Amino acid sequence: MTSKLEQLRAFTVVVADTGDLTAIEKFRPRDCTTNPSLILKAAQQPESAGLVREVIERGARDGDSVERILDRLAVRFGTELTKLVPGYVSTEVDARLSFDTQAMVDKARSLIALYEEHGVGRDRVLIKLAATWEGVRAAEVLEGEGIHCNLTLVFSLEQAVAAAQAGAFLISPFVGRITDWYKKAEGKDSYPVEEDPGVQSVRRIYAHFKEQGYPTVVMGASFRTAAQVEALAGCDRLTVSPALLAELDGDQGTLVRQLTPSDAEGDKEAPLGEAAFRWSLIENQMAGEKLNEGIRAFHQDYLKLKHTVEEHLAKVGTNAVPAD
Active site positions, annotated: 128
Q: Which residues pair with 219 in a beta bridge?
A: 237
**Model confidence over 169-224: pLDDT tens digits?**
999 999 999 999 999 999 999 999 999 999 999 999 999 999 999 999 999 999 99
Angle between helices 133-144 and 101-117 (to 10 degrees): 40
pTM for the whole structure: 0.93
Q: Helices 285-316 and 176-186 meet at what angle, rounded to 10?
A: 120
Q: What confidence tens digit (pLDDT) does each residue in 125-163 have? A: 999 999 999 999 999 999 999 999 999 999 999 999 999
Q: Check: CB of residue 105 under 8 Å from CB of residue 129.
A: no
Are the beta carbons of 216 and 150 closer than 8 angstroms? no
Dihedral sign, Cα of residue 135, residue 139, residue 142, residue 144? negative
pLDDT of residue 117: 96
Among 213, 211, 219, CA closest to 240: 219
- The torsion angles phi and psi of 245, rounded to 5 degrees, stand at -60, -40
pLDDT band for position 124 (50/70/90)?
very high
Q: CA-CA distance, 114 to 205, in Å (whole number)?
A: 34
3-state secondary structure at position 88: coil
- Is 82 in contact with 123 (CB distance < 8 Å)? no
Mean pLDDT computed over 102-124? 97
222 conformational bin, left if phi > 0, alpha if psi -120 to 50, beta if neither: left
Specify burial of residue 107 (Cβ count, 10 A radius: 0-12, 13-18, 19+). buried
- The number of beta carbons lying within 10 Å of the beta carbon of residue 182 is 18
CA distances from 219 to 110, 122, 152, 158, 312 (A): 25, 20, 10, 16, 35
Looking at the chain, the whole-number percentage of residues with pLDDT higher than 70 is 98
Nearest-angstrom CA–CA distance, 123 and 147 = 8
Query: How do residues 33-90 score in pLDDT, each as one tens digit?
Result: 877 777 777 777 777 778 888 898 999 899 999 999 999 999 998 999 999 999 999 9
pLDDT grade, residue 317 (50/70/90)?
Answer: low
Q: What is the pLDDT of residue 206?
A: 98
Under CATH, what is the fold of the domain 4-261+269-318? Answer: TIM Barrel (3.20.20)
Helices then strands, counting H and E runs in the chain, come out as 14, 8
Question: What is d(CA 252, CA 145) in angstroms, rounded to the nearest whole number?
Answer: 44
> What pLDDT is attached to residue 151?
98
Q: Please check whether residue 186 is in contact with residue 205, taking contact to mean a CB–CB distance below 8 angstroms.
A: no
Tally Cβ neighbours within 10 Å of residue 11.
15
Average pLDDT over residues 4-25: 90
pLDDT digits (tens, 9 = 90+) for 241-274: 999 999 999 999 999 999 999 877 778 899 999 9
**pLDDT at site 324:** 52
Instruction: Tell whether the model's pLDDT for residue 323 goes beyond 60.
Output: no
pLDDT digits (tens, 9 = 90+) for 288-303: 999 999 999 999 989 9
On the 0-12 / 13-18 / 19+ scale of CB atoms within 10 A, 208 is middle
- Kindly list the domain boundaries of the chain, sorted by start residue: 4-261+269-318
Considering the chain, what is the average pLDDT of its residues?
93
Question: What is the DSSP annotation of 137-163?
Answer: HHHHHHHHTT--EEEEEE-SHHHHHHH
